[in-house]
Amino acid sequence: GWQGWRLALCVLAWLLGNVATAQTPHGKNAEPPAYGAREDVMRFADDLAARHNELDARWLRQQLQRARFVGTVQKLIMPPPVVNGKATVKDWAAYRARFVERERIAAGVAFWRANEAWLQRAEERWGVPAQVIVGVIGVETYYGRLTGTFRVIDALATLAFDFPSGRRDRTTFFRSELEQFLLWCARERCDTAQVQGSFAGAMGLPQFMPSSLNTWAVDFDGDGHVNLAGSSADAIGSVARYLNYFGWERGAPTHFDVRPPDDDGNRALLLGPDILPLFSAEEFTERGATLTAEGRSHEGPLALVELHNGDGAAPSHVAGTRNFWAVTRYNWSSYYALAVIELGAAVAERR
């Protein structure tokens, strides 16, 4: 009767649904299976245990079983959308206004006052001025106000095992970062499910990725733990040590004002290396670039850095030194570096 046909139709629908799901990676709109149920993830855990004596295979499997896929992470890791066939136009003035503004400057002054001794100690040890460290932490997390709300174990697992298509695959990078995160958690005996950070897995006031945390972060307050989320001292020391490692020169400027050459060929030649400082001040002058007196007397190499100001507006230019280059090692962007430098300078002036 009708009940028998209804049962048969339900069974048929169930079978068709399973076939459809099997024909796509995780079903049309379904999330991937829990990471603890995936053989590739468990093999990853066993491989880590085989390579690191300090990591227990059972503990690793337990931690990865706690990880959850986050679709928002997949979306956020993608490049900006193309609108009407055109990529998003960079705008230095708009970018700067996000960071060098009244409230963030005031927060920077308060952070500096609260951590003056640590900033002074860091500058004495690694040569990085307090205002640059303050600029980094202010741009990265608004002095701890915006450190990220994603569970790091979820973000890294999503990007390590379900990296989205449509851009250059960085699965290998994020598997390495997940490995470094687990190493840090095991060493610090922290709860992997409680650590929060950005959608890409960056953590704490200075937003260090796990590999940077394990390589350059320091226990600056001497409490026996590296805590970039809860210790301003550790964050300050870690930023200074990082910039020092990447070539910060004590007492040297970050950049000079410059007018680029009028000649298209000379301008293109100086812009060629982008933010990498390769030209002497004399070569700048010979190619038609106009430097300030301080810039002309600078003995180190310079880079002609160009920052666009949206459609129709003339770009801005600076002559970046090795110290400008060092700041870009934190985030490989001239816009980021100049925002850090100018925020730090504005905080120092307000202070």
Show which residues are catalytic.
140
For residue 52, CA distances in Å to 48, 189, 199, 325 come to 6, 16, 27, 35
Bridge partners, 309 (sequence order): 91
CB 328 within 8 A of CB 334: yes
Quote the CA–CA distance of 12 and 171 in Å, as a whole number. 38
DSSP sequence for 192-256: GGG-EE-TT--BTTTTB-HHHHHHH---TT-SSS--TTT-HHHHHHHHHHHHHHTTPPTT--SEE
The single residue listed with the structure tokens 């307050």 is: 221
Q: Beta-carbon neighbour count of residue 75 at 10 Å? A: 10
Q: What are the CA-CA distances from residue 61 to residues 48, 86, 156, 190 (Å)?
A: 10, 45, 15, 16
